[in-house]
């Protein structure tokens, strides 16, 4: 594992204040066990498991724990960190947290790291802080770069389709951002299969091909299977899943109550899992799935992630984590992403 030292001020026995300069050093074994998958037909590869900072990296979260989660991820080959302008709370705080850790600890590994951010949801008041206009997206990316102290991000996403802005305008901004050198690649998120097909066509005509689509996909949320996965495959686009643990439902943590330190107990708002999402019909399915996971020698979380990664159309999935141990636990899913026909049939029967 990597080592982390901080700049520590301490008072020595003769009462003078000393400075101890120390730094984070990434594990030399970081590329030992992670898989890297190509984004469709593009040159870029992503780790099969990426880390997202939607929750757990806000202003009220324990900064040293955030630092440890990032270090653990990178030490284990997670080279991709996913952010958005509005992650926090408050909005912008996750980029600030990440920016501080990046500047202090991992800046020297910049060329080993893929950073993504997004804009598309409401970020600031007035008519220019939401949607897909050129005015909003250009200003938002400039703000994100400033918060993280970066010259460029690797991937910039339009976070959700905006029915009020012509698709041509939004895609032209993505193209412009790449030409300006503020992002290397562009992606879209939460677009339907049809909207994705149209976005691909416009971007191709501009000369900035779509790199990747970011989609909500888990055993419990299967919309991606209704055409989107076929569109990305047909067009050689990457696909990265989010909320593949359904924010923690697809783990064994809620099977005997709601732990006090869980997301469901935290009442964070901003789309975070709430207690009302933990219904008995859903939990009884998870109990049954957990039995299959045990037979496979996996935790429930590991099986839920492996189930996504069994599909070769998936480039990566983005996990969230409130503890470093969750990162190492989730990575173990890569040890077995194969499912027998019998296992797949049993899973489908439970999910129906």
Q: Shortest gap between Cβ of 156 and ligand NAP (angstroms)? A: 13
Rank residues 108 and 335 by Cβ distance to ligand NAP and give the closer one.
Answer: 335
3-state secondary structure of 51: strand
- Measured between alpha carbons, how far is 117 from 97 in angstroms, rounded to an integer? 14
Rounded to 10°, the helix 63-75/93-101 angle is 60
Q: Which stretch binds ligand NAP (CB under 6 A): 39-47, 165-173, 178-186, 313-321?
A: 313-321
Using CB under 6 A, pick the residue from 69, 242, 286, 316 that binds ligand NAP. 242
CB 183 within 8 A of CB 156: yes
Q: Is 54 in the site for ligand NAP (CB under 6 A)?
A: yes
How do beta strands 183-189 and 210-216 pair?
A: parallel
Interface positions, 199-218, toward ligand NAP (CB under 6 A) = 214
Q: Shortest gap between Cβ of 250 and ligand NAP (angstroms)? A: 7
Rank residues 288 and 329 by Cβ distance to ligand NAP and give the closer one.
Answer: 329
Q: Shortest gap between Cβ of 281 and ligand NAP (angstroms)? A: 19
Structure tokens at 99: 């920016």
Q: Check residue 43 and report its DSSP letter.
A: S
Q: Is 248 in the site for ligand NAP (CB under 6 A)?
A: yes
Using CB under 6 A, pick the residue from 48, 53, 237, 347 that binds ligand NAP. 53
Q: Is 70 in the site for ligand NAP (CB under 6 A)?
A: no
Element (DSSP H or E) covering residue 173: helix 167-179
Q: Which stretch binds ligand NAP (CB under 6 A): 95-103, 107-115, 166-174, 240-248?
A: 240-248
Token pair 């899992």 is at which residue?
Answer: 273
Using CB under 6 A, pick the residue from 246, 309, 314, 347 that binds ligand NAP. 246
Using CB under 6 A, pick the residue from 190, 208, 290, 316 that binds ligand NAP. 190
Interface positions, 118-177, toward ligand NAP (CB under 6 A) = 159
Distance set, CA 227 to CA 39, 68, 171, 231, 315 (Å): 18, 39, 21, 6, 17
- Measured between alpha carbons, how far is 297 from 271 in angstroms, rounded to an integer? 32
Using CB under 6 A, pick the residue from 195, 274, 329, 343 that binds ligand NAP. 329
Q: Shortest gap between Cβ of 131 and ligand NAP (angstroms)? A: 15
Using CB under 6 A, pick the residue from 177, 229, 301, 303 that binds ligand NAP. 301
Closest by CA to 300, choosing from 241, 348, 248, 242, is 248
CB 212 within 8 A of CB 185: yes
Distance set, CA 259 to CA 44, 77, 281, 297 (Å): 39, 29, 19, 24
CB 173 within 8 A of CB 119: no
Q: Is 326 in the site for ligand NAP (CB under 6 A)?
A: yes
Q: Is 290 in the site for ligand NAP (CB under 6 A)?
A: no
Using CB under 6 A, pick the residue from 117, 298, 316, 330 that binds ligand NAP. 330
Q: Shortest gap between Cβ of 113 and ligand NAP (angstroms)? A: 15
Cβ contacts of residue 225 below 8 Å, gap of 6+? none
Rank residues 6 and 323 by Cβ distance to ligand NAP and give the closer one.
Answer: 323
Distance set, CA 81 to CA 13, 24, 295, 339 (Å): 43, 18, 32, 28
Q: Using CB under 6 A as the criterion, which residues of the chain lie in contact with ligand NAP when the complex forms? A: 52-56, 82, 159, 189-190, 214, 242-248, 251, 253, 262-263, 301, 318-322, 326, 329-330
């Amino acid at each position: 594992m990597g080592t982390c030292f901080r700049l520590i001020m301490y008072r020595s026995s003769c009462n003078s204040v000393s400075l101890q300069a120390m730094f984070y050093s990434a594990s030399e074994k970081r590329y030992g066990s992670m898989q890297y998958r190509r984004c469709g037909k593009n040159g870029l590869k992503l780790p099969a498991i990426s880390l997202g900072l939607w929750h757990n990296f806000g202003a009220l979260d324990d900064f040293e724990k955030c630092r440890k989660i990032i270090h653990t991820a990178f030490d284990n080959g997670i080279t991709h960190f996913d952010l958005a302008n509005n992650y926090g709370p408050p909005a912008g705080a996750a980029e600030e947290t990440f920016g501080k850790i990046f500047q202090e600890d991992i800046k020297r590994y910049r060329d080993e790291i893929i950073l993504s951010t997004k804009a598309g949801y409401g970020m600031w008041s007035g008519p220019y802080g939401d949607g897909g206009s050129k005015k909003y997206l250009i200003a938002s990316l400039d703000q994100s770069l400033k918060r993280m102290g970066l010259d460029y991000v690797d991937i910039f996403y339009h976070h959700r389709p905006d029915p009020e802005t012509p698709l041509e305008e939004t895609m032209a901004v993505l193209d412009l951002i790449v030409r300006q050198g503020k992002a290397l690649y562009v992606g879209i998120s939460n677009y339907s299969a049809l909207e994705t097909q149209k976005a691909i066509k416009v971007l191709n005509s501009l000369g900035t091909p779509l790199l990747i689509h970011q989609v909500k996909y888990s055993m419990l949320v299967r919309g991606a299977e209704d055409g989107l996965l076929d569109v990305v495959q047909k067009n050689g686009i990457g696909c990265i899943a989010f909320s593949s643990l359904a924010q923690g439902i697809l783990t064994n943590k809620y099977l005997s109550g709601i732990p006090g330190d869980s997301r469901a107990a935290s009442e964070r708002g901003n789309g975070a899992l709430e207690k009302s999402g933990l219904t008995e019909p859903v939990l009884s399915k998870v109990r049954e799935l957990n039995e299959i996971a045990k037979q496979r020698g996996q935790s429930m979380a590991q099986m839920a992630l492996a189930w996504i990664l069994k599909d070769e159309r998936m480039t990566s999935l983005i996990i969230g984590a409130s503890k470093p141990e969750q990162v190492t636990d989730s990575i173990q899913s890569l040890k077995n992403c194969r499912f027998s026909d019998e296992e797949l049939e049993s899973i489908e029967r439970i999910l129906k």
